[in-house]
Structure 1
Amino acid sequence: MASSKERVEMSKFMGFLQDWDHGSRATRIRILNDFVNTNRGKTSPELELQFAQGTSLFLTRLTAWLRITYMVGTCVTEQLQAIGIFLSAVSGHRYLVEVLEVGGLLTFLEILRLKQLQEDAKQEALKLLQIIANAGRKYKELICESYGVRNVAECLAHSKLEKTQEQAQILLELLAQGNPKYQLHVYKGLIALLPCTSPKVQQMALQSLRTLQSVVKLVHPCIVEPLLNLLRTIHFEVQYEVIEFIKILLNYKIRQALLEGLVVCLAPSMDFLKPWPKILYDEPTSSLTESSPLFVQQAASAKVVGIITKESNEIAEELLQLRVVHHLMIAMGNLEHADSQKQACLALENLIHSFPVVEEHVRKAMGEAFYELYMRNPANLYLKMDSIQAAVLVDNKVNIPGSVEAVAE
């Protein structure tokens, strides 16, 4: 027989459920806020003690009301926060099972896709999905089998608030770690985010790809094109992530494709790089404006070449076989983009100091006087170069065949 104290607790709990069952929307919001504020951080035994061993009765009501109302956005955030009290409770695994059994997972994932819902509701849904993912590998697989990667990636791509984006990024990384069956699926989902228009999303996708690369270990060839296209960005934080990721990927089988792509980017269009008649510079519709992303990509590619050739003579040799010197000199002759000139000058300087054969060919192609002007201060050559010297660079025929040997440091 229950003690008097237990009967009192039971009576209070039944009154609580009646208030919920007969309460208006405003009453339920008040109950939810009170529940969240007073029970945050409680363990499962503590919740059971407070609700006379009947917490599942309240949880069932919560999940049922959520499934009925989430499409119209009725206090979805408050409902998700209340469910989070149960899912995050220590020793509360049975609450997780109860939520999943009534379709809670699919509801959380659907919330991420609804345009009419506020971002704070999506943040709460992402937090609940993180709790589910942290429960173990089989739950990560369950999320992925429910098209979770697609929904989370779309949420990341379309969200406007950084808080929401951060929660989506955390969840995607969680779904890849300790989940060998679907880790490549998550990896491809992140690659699919690279062409999106948001610099912040691009940066986050690259950060996650870098984090997961050592986990996935394989590299899908489809990553080369979007990665090189991102070098066109004017956002330095994105460009930094691209360069760091390229350095990692050079240790994988796509190295040749990446190096070939970088070399091609150094000379995007011969027509744009030749000196133009001066009268054309004043035309507002000049196609030079349209080509500016290519010039940004050109400068970034030269920067990457400079970095990787300084770090590895082996990679530098491979680039020499791809006629990188010829293409760097073309970039140096770009009178319309100072950064292209500067980065190409610095990259070529490194190759000249490392490989005597490069110095020989460049000196011959540029001529003694022009070469001496260049070597006095490579970073400032663009300030002193005239159109004739630029034409010499653009029209160079430098080709370094066979193997080359680096100067010993």
Structure 2
Amino acid sequence: MSSIREQEAISRLMTFFKEWDNGNKVTRSRILNNFVTYNQRKTAPELEQEFSQGGSLFLARLTTWLRLTYMFGTYLKEILQSISIFLAAANSGRYKVEFVEVGGILTLLEILGLKQLNEEHKMEALRILQILARAGRKYKELICESYGVRAVAECLANAKMEDTQEQAQILLELLAHGNPKYQTQVYKGVIALLPCASPKAQHLSLQTLRIVQDIVQEPHPAIVDPLLGVLQSMHMEVQYEALQLIKDLMRTEVRADLLQGLVKLLRPSRKDGGRAKPQILEDPSVPVLSEPLPVFIQQAACARAIGMLARESSELCDQMIRLRVIHHLLYVMGNMDHTESQRQASLAVQYFASVSPVVEEQVRLAIGEKLFQMLMENADMLYMKLDPIQVDVLVSNQVNIPGVKDVIE
């Protein structure tokens, strides 16, 4: 009786495979949709029972069709979803090995880089790679050995849909955890994302960097310039994450470079500040546009960061004073090109003067009693009350605190 049931099961399986092998695209699409609908969250033994112990044979057919057609996107979403059911199943170690052995990882990574494929396809590919990455260190290493970090990072930078970017971020974090051989590669790959043009990608990259930084512990010196460059972003969520990462890095070996970088950026170079305007803006009949240049946005963010760090630690406060930060903050307070820079600089100077008697005395002497009192009473609104003489005093200030050095070249 058992033999009869087995023969019937085998006969059904052979009929199913014959229909698949001889079917056109429409037939195969129907088969895939039915498979996805009725086999969600099944375990590997349940899938084997469904296919009369021939689950691997169907998976092989899926991977073969995937490799033959992925460049054209032919029912690609359905194929990837079907493969995902096999690989995500409990006790599916054999399926994962079979998929990897036929080049499945390389195919998924190539899908991420194909411009002609839509982002739904790339999201499905990222989800399968996540399944493999969660299966253990061996699979994480295989993904990284296949130049996976670069492929995933580029997908995050170039994607237009936030869902795709978030799936790429999840995969990068998975590749960093429990993967000591390649965690530094992931770390450098995320750093390389910081200058990208997408604000969402920058935001996610900064979030990921904070996590990966805790894993690698020792920061790479190359993180300083891209991180400070992100402060030019007009998106507050990007600036927030950048400031939080700067705060985290103050406990590491790059602290001195970051502090010096922040102070230098209070005084934009002529090259940045004198950027040529489009010719149409020179037409007197066109209204003057007051949109701030990225360099001034960065200047305001640096002033804000300096104030934040000074409040975090008296040691950092002392270090920044020694870097002649007060002189440069006073200069920024007189910067009529960008009111937010003035406001943040005023708040920072007010704090320094309130905690350091030496700073208080020198600032009072440098800017005069009246202006000093205005600063201490309402630094937040000081920029609105400055007259031209006071602006000149701030810009040309000669505050000189004993023992400081200038970091501006």
Query: Residue 315 of structure 2 aligns with which residue?
Result: 314
Which residues of 2 match residues 51-130 of structure 1 at below 5 A? 51-130=51-130
Find the residue that maps to 1:232 and give its secondary structure: coil
CA distance in 1, matches of 2:285, 2:387: 23
- Asked whether the 8 Å contact 1:346–1:379 carries over to 2, the reply is yes
- Asked whether the 8 Å contact 2:367–2:393 carries over to 1, the reply is yes
CA distance 1:399–1:285, shift in 2 (3 Å): farther
CA distance 1:10–1:236, shift in 2 (3 Å): same
Q: Percent identity?
A: 56
Amino acid at match of 1:294: V
Q: Work out whether 1:232 is the aligned partner of 2:266.
A: no
CA distance in 2, matches of 1:181, 1:372: 58
Most deviating of 290-299 and 176-185? 290-299
Query: Residue 10 of structure 2 aligns with which residue?
Result: 10
CA distance 1:26–1:253, shift in 2 (3 Å): same
Query: Residue 175 of structure 2 aligns with which residue?
Result: 175
- Asked whether the 8 Å contact 1:130–1:171 carries over to 2, the reply is yes
Find the residue that maps to 1:62 and give its secondary structure: helix
Deviation string, structure 1 residues 290-344 (Cα, Å, up to 9, x no partner):
9721111111111011111011110010001100000100110011211111111
CA distance in 2, matches of 1:15, 1:272: 71
CA distance in 2, matches of 1:387, 1:281: 25
Deviation string, structure 1 residues 89-140 (Cα, Å, up to 9, x no partner):
1111000011111111111111111111111111111111111111111111
CA distance 1:168–1:272, shift in 2 (3 Å): closer
Query: Residue 391 of structure 2 aligns with which residue?
Result: 390
CA distance in 2, matches of 1:56, 1:270: 66
CA RMSD, 1 decimal: 2.2
Amino acid at match of 2:231: L
CA distance in 2, matches of 1:367, 1:247: 33
Following superposition, the deviation at residue 373 of structure 1 comes to 2.1
Following superposition, the deviation at residue 226 of structure 1 comes to 1.0
Which residues of 2 match residues 237-252 of structure 1 at below 5 A? 237-252=237-252
Following superposition, the deviation at residue 204 of structure 1 comes to 0.3
Q: Work out whether 1:207 is the aligned partner of 2:218.
A: no
Structure 1 runs (4+) deviating above 4 angstroms are 269-273, 280-291
Find the residue that maps to 1:251 and give its secondary structure: coil
Query: Residue 351 of structure 2 aligns with which residue?
Result: 350
Query: Residue 276 of structure 1 aligns with which residue?
Result: none
CA distance 1:321–1:131, shift in 2 (3 Å): same
Which residues of 2 match residues 283-322 of structure 1 at below 5 A? 292-322=293-323
The number of residue pairs the alignment matches comes to: 398
Amino acid at match of 1:384: K
Amino acid at match of 2:145: E
Find the residue that maps to 1:71 and give its secondary structure: helix
- Asked whether the 8 Å contact 1:272–1:288 carries over to 2, the reply is no
- Asked whether the 8 Å contact 1:177–1:183 carries over to 2, the reply is yes
Amino acid at match of 2:39: N
CA distance 1:141–1:270, shift in 2 (3 Å): closer
Deviation string, structure 1 residues 2-33 (Cα, Å, up to 9, x no partner):
52222222111111111101111001001001
Find the residue that maps to 2:156 and give its secondary structure: helix
Find the residue that maps to 2:71 and give its secondary structure: coil
Query: Residue 27 of structure 2 aligns with which residue?
Result: 27
Find the residue that maps to 2:192 and give its secondary structure: helix
Gaps of 5+ in 1: 274-279, 404-409
Following superposition, the deviation at residue 270 of structure 1 comes to 7.5
Find the residue that maps to 2:149 and give its secondary structure: helix
Q: How does the TM-score come out when normalised to structure 2?
A: 0.93
- Asked whether the 8 Å contact 2:62–2:83 carries over to 1, the reply is yes
Find the residue that maps to 1:299 and give its secondary structure: helix
Amino acid at match of 2:133: A
Deviation string, structure 1 residues 194-243 (Cα, Å, up to 9, x no partner):
00110000000000000111101011111111111111111000000000
CA distance 1:27–1:5, shift in 2 (3 Å): same
Which residues of 2 match residues 371-386 of structure 1 at below 5 A? 371-386=372-387
Amino acid at match of 1:349: Q
- Asked whether the 8 Å contact 2:292–2:338 carries over to 1, the reply is no
Following superposition, the deviation at residue 282 of structure 1 comes to 9.5
Q: How does the TM-score come out when normalised to structure 1?
A: 0.93
- Asked whether the 8 Å contact 1:263–1:327 carries over to 2, the reply is yes
- Asked whether the 8 Å contact 2:350–2:375 carries over to 1, the reply is no
CA distance in 1, matches of 2:270, 2:378: 26
CA distance in 2, matches of 1:231, 1:383: 24
CA distance in 1, matches of 2:105, 2:157: 21
CA distance in 2, matches of 1:139, 1:164: 21
Amino acid at match of 1:377: N
CA distance 1:258–1:37, shift in 2 (3 Å): same
CA distance in 2, matches of 1:173, 1:69: 30
Query: Residue 337 of structure 1 aligns with which residue?
Result: 338
Following superposition, the deviation at residue 401 of structure 1 comes to 2.1
Query: Residue 43 of structure 1 aligns with which residue?
Result: 43
CA distance in 2, matches of 1:27, 1:94: 28
CA distance in 1, matches of 2:213, 2:322: 28
CA distance 1:271–1:346, shift in 2 (3 Å): farther
Query: Residue 194 of structure 1 aligns with which residue?
Result: 194
Amino acid at match of 1:304: A
